[in-house]
Chain A
Amino acid sequence: MIPQKFEYTAPKTLDEALLLLAAGAKPLAGGMSLIPMMKLRLAAPEHLVDLGKLKDLNYIRETDGTLHIGATTTHAEIESSPILRKKCPLLAETAAAIGDVQVRNMGTIGGSVAHADPAADYPAALQALEAKLALKGAKSDRIVAAADFFVDAFTTALQPNEIIREVIVPVEAAGTGTSYQKMFHPASGFAIVGIAARVRKKAGNIALVRIGVTGLSNRPYRAATAEKALEGKLGSATEIQNAAALVAKGVDANSDLHASAEYRRHLAVVHAARALMTALARTA
């Protein structure tokens, strides 16, 4: 499995990389999705710009109550980051559920999110966290909400000459519990269905619920109806089941040889209940 010929550049600075992208080159981050596609010749870029060595895109920082994660930060770095484990544990837990050790050592958050595989893990967390994405091109710099970023399978709001510069997530407020629950594809580790849940309790009641869903349809989404069903409640097992039952309602579920649409919808309900239950238990 030899990819088609291509030219390769490893620029030293982000500006240099953006100029090459503006000239039509394709970005290479960790390569965990792009390289397999190139080997199968499903992708045949003529020029690859390696962003993997750009130090100015690899960071995890906190400023003014938000966390900023540089695009080339690897899943392993996110999974093991003390600051994320403490202040945004949902993202660290999600990173730990991706692929395997070797994939997490190479794969990057920017690469995964930009690729927008419908079975990728991060999109569920990004929806539940109401994350923002900073996108940068040679002449542009803009912020897009995760809710608007994912357009369809493998299709995002990114312009051809833009890359994700960083992912912006909130510092979790006190009293918030989070959880990511997925059905692993046994060979690839991708999410057949993945549910990210955030639950915040205030004075004994559930004050906020956010549910992000990936794997079920072409586009990751927030299950707003299910969220509303649980807000203001105490969080009994029945209330959680009732809310979870709504996560897949009205969604055009994908069907493939791994899981039928009906089975995927069933998995979504089961994993939503698990994620909500676990998140609720972690509010204490």
Chain B
Amino acid sequence: MKIRVTINGKSYSHDVEPRLLLIHYLREVVGLTGSHVGCETSLCGACTVELNGKAVKSCTMFAVQADGASVVTVEGLATDGKLHPVQEAFWNEHGLQCGFCTPGMIMASKQILDRTPKPTEEEIRHGLEGNVCRCTGYQHIVNAVKAAAAGAGK
């Protein structure tokens, strides 16, 4: 089936099988390997991307469902070599260890801040419920989201 998807501002058109998952489309067809395949059962959130401005798990969606949509992956956040404030904050606050969950964490964190520019710690933790991290114990991730919120508007 022919689909047309805008990914990180660039338009793509491909002929895909309906059963191709969005994450596999992004990684294997388009070649954007920033979004990761973690659990593949829609629990871990490593595959989180933005679909028309909403954070979704791209392992639990078919590429054909994204026909006509606009997708943003972690590769689409930095502009002109300058990191997105959330990426910057993850770096500064050491919001990662192995980094595997980080692309999904960053996309979920961006959704929190898009909806709640000044979130409480509870709101941050609630907003990250769909993302699992095996290394950090979450504290540095929460700190990173707080730092990104504090830094925005400076």
Spell out A's residues near B (CB within 8 Å). 1-8, 10, 28, 31-32, 35-36, 38-39, 48, 50, 52, 76, 99-103, 105-106, 187-189
Roughly how many angstroms separate A31 CA and B51 CA in the complex, as a whole number? 15
Tell me the minimal C-beta distance from A80 to chain B in angstroms.
8
Q: Within the complex, which residue of B21, B40, B41, B130 is in contact with A102, where a contact is CB–CB below 8 Å?
A: B130
Q: With an 8 A cutoff between CB atoms, is B127 at the interface?
A: yes
Given A32-B42, A35-B61, A36-B60: A105 and B1 within 8 A (CB)?
no
Q: With an 8 A cutoff between CB atoms, is B121 at the interface?
A: no
| Nearest A residue (CB) for B18 | A8
B65 engages A32 (CB within 8 Å):
no
A189 engages B129 (CB within 8 Å):
yes
Roughly how many angstroms separate A39 CA and B19 CA in the complex, as a whole number? 9
B64 engages A102 (CB within 8 Å):
no
| Nearest A residue (CB) for B40 | A1
A31 engages B61 (CB within 8 Å):
yes
Q: Within the complex, which residue of A2, A36, A105 is in contact with B55, where a contact is CB–CB below 8 Å?
A: A105
Contact with A along B47-67 (1 / 0, CB 8 A): 010010011110011101101
A106 engages B40 (CB within 8 Å):
no
Please list 24 pairs of residues, one from A and one from B, whose beta carbons are closer than 8 Å in the complex, sorted by A's number. Answer: A1-B40, A1-B41, A6-B18, A6-B19, A8-B1, A8-B18, A8-B62, A10-B67, A31-B61, A32-B42, A32-B60, A36-B60, A39-B40, A50-B64, A100-B129, A101-B108, A101-B112, A101-B127, A101-B129, A102-B57, A102-B130, A105-B55, A105-B56, A106-B56
* Chain B positions within 8 Å of A28 at CB level: 65
A106 engages B19 (CB within 8 Å):
no
Roughly how many angstroms separate A103 CA and B19 CA in the complex, as a whole number? 20
B18 engages A7 (CB within 8 Å):
yes
* Chain B positions within 8 Å of A8 at CB level: 1, 18, 62, 64
Roughly how many angstroms separate A3 CA and B61 CA in the complex, as a whole number? 11
Given A36-B42, A100-B129, A100-B130: A106 and B60 within 8 A (CB)?
yes
Roughly how many angstroms separate A143 CA and B41 CA in the complex, as a whole number? 35
B17 engages A99 (CB within 8 Å):
no
